[in-house]
Amino acid sequence: MKKLNPVQLEEIRSILRHKGIIFFNIQEELLDHIASEIEEKMAMESLSFEASSKAVLGLWENSFRLKQNRLLLGKDLYPKIIYEELKRNSVKMLWPLLLLSLVLTSLLVILNYETNELFKDFAYLIGFFSLTAGIISLFLYPQLKNGKQTIYSHLLLKDFKIFIPMATTVILQVYEQKLENASMYQSILFSFFMAMMLCFLIYLVMLYLKHLDLHRKYALS
């Protein structure tokens, strides 16, 4: 079976970019699938590259249809194939972390009830981690924004905008020591917020590690 040449592959890649497939890992996977289908069609039906690519890409048109999920992904529109991948990864990662944050909240409330000093030490620790993560993220942000995008770096860049106000609030609350004479309601609320902050930080780290893993994978392939 005749393989597509580099010029033809680049033409398909250009079409994918035009269709909104901007994340290089999905772009490469789609390119591989579509190129194989075009090669097969050219071989079986003796069609030209132009005719085969038009027919095959027509079958993929539904996957390029734009979709939106304001609650989960914000106001941006994504091709269906990317939308589904972003949605799947967001839900897959966020639900376990939400559950973990509820468990951590319970532990923090118990800790505060048992020993307020240890609770405050833990709060300082979370504040320190938040501040450190914020500083590191500021250095990584341009690299992620200007480099080859993956779905993970895209989610990271979007969610980093949420992380900044969350981290700032935690740091201000902790270092102003507003929990000194806090009511039970305030204590529970702040414990939940701290737990969410810690889990959100874990989530961002996971996104970054997955992004790096994809870069390593495609660099070696």
Domain ranges of the chain: 6-64, 80-220
Mean predicted confidence (pLDDT) in 70-79? 73
Q: Considering only 45-49, 134-138, 174-178, 184-188, which range has the smallest mean pLDDT? A: 174-178
Is the pTM higher than 0.85? no
Pull the structure tokens for residue 6: 């580099």
pLDDT band at 60 (very low <50, low <70, confident <90, very high): very high
CB 191 within 8 A of CB 136: no
pLDDT digits (tens, 9 = 90+) for 153-197: 888 887 777 776 766 666 666 555 555 555 666 677 777 777 877
Q: Considering only 35-39, 59-63, 82-86, 158-162, which range has the smallest mean pLDDT? A: 158-162
Amino acid code (one letter) for 147: G
**Residue pointed to by tokens 């505060």:** 112
Q: What is the pLDDT of residue 107?
A: 79
Q: What is the pLDDT of residue 100?
A: 83
Sequential DSSP letters for 58-124:
HHTGGGGSEE--HHHHTT--EEHHHHHHHHHHHHHHHHHHHHHHHHHHHHHHHHHHH-HHHHHHHHH
Question: By CB neighbour count within 10 A (0-12 exposed, 13-18 middle, 19+ buried), where does 155 fall?
Answer: buried
